[in-house]
Structure 1
Amino acid sequence: MRIALGVEYCGSTFHGWQSQPQGNTVQDVLESALHAIAGQPIGVICAGRTDAGVHASHQVVHFDAPVERPLTAWVRGVNSNLPEGVAVRWVQPVGDEFHARFSARGRRYRYLLLNRPQRLGLWHGRAGWFHLPLDLTAMQAAAARLPGEHNFSAFRAAGCQAKTPVKTMWRAEIRQQGNLIVFDFEASAFLHHMVRNLVGSLVYIGKGAQAPGWIDELLQARDRKLAAPTFSPDGLYFRGPIYEAHWGLPDPDDDFLDGVLK
């Protein structure tokens, strides 16, 4: 039986999602917890790998269960074997044709940025930080140029393994409450470090180093060296994949932080 799980985690103490020889990744601890319930090794496939320090409010994984267990065991039982900072939120059987990564038609990311002179205390590890005042209107004008199909090479990490830098951005919005700035991105797919590189360039525009039209120049130049440095991973949240309704899976997000950010 193929099983899908919804997982959330704080990435601050992990070396990213993907299993590594030295361990201490989200995949490592999740597979270990599943092993404890199944009594034998279980490998999982995720919807979107995250780097060290990056969080997820709704990661989706699938695995083929080698044994029968009550569905509650894949939530409560697994959670009892997971370390702090990682939790399974839901479980659902799916057809063998479902694939957490390849069945997704899009993905969502959110970046939280604290904009104030003082460094982070309470938000340490949970948000990015910029000390100079930022022009929200200028950043919004720049972000409005991102939706559509573009070559995002200017925002692509050198080690990115994607077959093509051409992606379709559906949503790029920025809003602010107090000194917290929220960046929301939704696209068909994302390149490695793409969101963090976009945020870095939008911050350059916000601080007045560039005009909003600079985004157009970067998209046309397709040169990573011309864009801003990669921003901190601390404020990046994978909000989940987007699947067709026929899979019957929970929505990729439950309005993460929207209850306090209006």
Structure 2
Amino acid sequence: MRNLLMKVNYDGTCYDGFQTQPKGNTIQDRLEQAILHLTGETTKITASGRTDAGVHAYGQPFNFTTSSQIPLERWCLALNARLPQDIVVTEAREVPLSFHSRRGAKRKTYRYTINGNRFPDPFQRRWQHHHPVQLDIPAMQQGLTHLIGTHDFTSFASRRSTKTSHVRTIFEAHMEIDRSMCRPSSTDQGVIYTYVTGSGFLQHMVRIIMGTLIHVGEGKLQADEVAEILAACDRAAAGPTAMSQGLALMSVEYEESWE
């Protein structure tokens, strides 16, 4: 028996998230169907974590056991030939049977993308949250700093969260702005990328963080109120859940030996 670790990129627009659902319209369902068609084996894959409906990923790790002797170098092309075009497997390697994609993950980085230009980008619309109204970006950056460290993130977790503990650690968080598509003499603000790296994330956590920061940018909240919201441990204290299409899982890191 072999334990294979793979990475998959996907555009989550047309799917009901990563984890399998009764309707069968998830990334996991498509991957397991492709493996079945390729090997004849019915298997359950384990991913580094779930992504919500409409959320995307660059390099989502997943692993599964197989008795197939297909050479490693053939797996990606063979699976991609059996997958929709918006799901692409990019890496395959063999790992010890003890390896577990979710339990072994040490750091995860998500990126949320806001298009702050007056008009949406028709080519990137599935990967951006369009917000044409002016945002106070420095205030949003200040608010973001209050979330770095180890905290109880109950205020930023879905009310449907079933986790016994909402304590998580945010290692890094910052914003980057790409103004290359701004029109001269316009109110365009550019494309605003927010990167958040943590030990793990609760359901809707990054999206609620972003919905709260957008309220800061709109002047509905002060930057320092983010610290008060965090301390409240009350979902009602935070802002709305931001739209899913702006969110993408960017990377997952394991122990050095698995990099």
* TM-score category (smaller protein): over 0.9
Matched, 1:202 2:217: no
Partner in structure 1 of residue 222 of structure 2:
211
Contact 2:112 2:195 in 1 (8 A): yes
Residue number in structure 1 paired with 2:185: none
Deviation digits for residues 14-62 of structure 1 (CA, Å, limit 9, x no counterpart): 1111111211210111111111221221221000111110000110000
SS at match of 2:143: helix
1:47-62 correspondence to structure 2 within 5 Å: 47-62=48-63
State the 1:121 CA deviation.
Answer: 2.4
Pairwise CA distance, 1:240: 2.6
Structure 2 residue 155 is the aligned partner of structure 1 residue 144: no
Q: TM-score, normalised by structure 1?
A: 0.92
The whole-number CA distance in structure 2 between the counterparts of 1:96 and 1:80 is 27
Q: Distance in 2 between matches of 1:177 and 1:120?
A: 13
Structure 1 SS opposite 2:74 = helix
Q: Look up the match of 2:25.
A: 24
Q: Tell me the secondary structure at the aligned position of residue 184 of structure 1.
A: strand
Which residue in 2 is equivalent to 1:257? none
C-alpha distance in structure 1 between counterparts of 2:213 and 2:99, whole Å: 36
Residue number in structure 2 paired with 1:46? 47
- Counterpart secondary structure, 1:234: helix
| Equivalence for 1:193 | 204
Aligned to 2:133: 132
Indicate the residue corresponding to 2:187 in structure 1.
none
Identity between Structure 1 and Structure 2 (%): 32
Cα pair 2:4 2:65 within 8 Å, conserved: yes
| Deviations, residues 174-223 of structure 1 (Å, cap 9, x unaligned) | 12112100000001111100000000111111111111101111011111
Query: 8 Å contact 1:37–1:73 — kept in the other structure?
Result: no
Alignment of 1:71-82 (within 5 A): 71-82=72-83
1:225 equivalent in alignment to 2:230: no
Number of matched pairs: 248
Mapping of residues 103-118 of structure 1, within 5 Å: 103-118=104-119
SS at match of 1:57: strand
SS in structure 1 of the partner of residue 201 of structure 2: coil
Superposed CA deviations along residues 209-260 of structure 1, whole A, max 9, x for unmatched, are: 111101111011111111111000001001132101022x3xxxxxxxxxxx
**Cα-to-partner distance string for 1:72-120 (whole Å, 9 max, x where unaligned):** 2311101110011000001000001110000111211000111133345
Q: CA deviation at 1:130?
A: 1.3
Mean CA deviation greater in 131-140 or 86-95: 131-140
SS of alignment partner, residue 54 of structure 2: coil
Unpaired segments ≥5 residues, structure 2:
180-189
> Which stretches in structure 1 are left out of the alignment for 5+ residues?
250-262
1:177 is matched with 178
Q: 2:233 is matched by which residue type in structure 1?
A: R
The code of the aligned residue for 1:73 comes to R
Structure 1, 204-213 or 53-62: larger mean CA deviation: 204-213
Mapping 1:6-21, distance limit 5 Å? 6-21=7-22
**RMSD (CA atoms):** 1.1
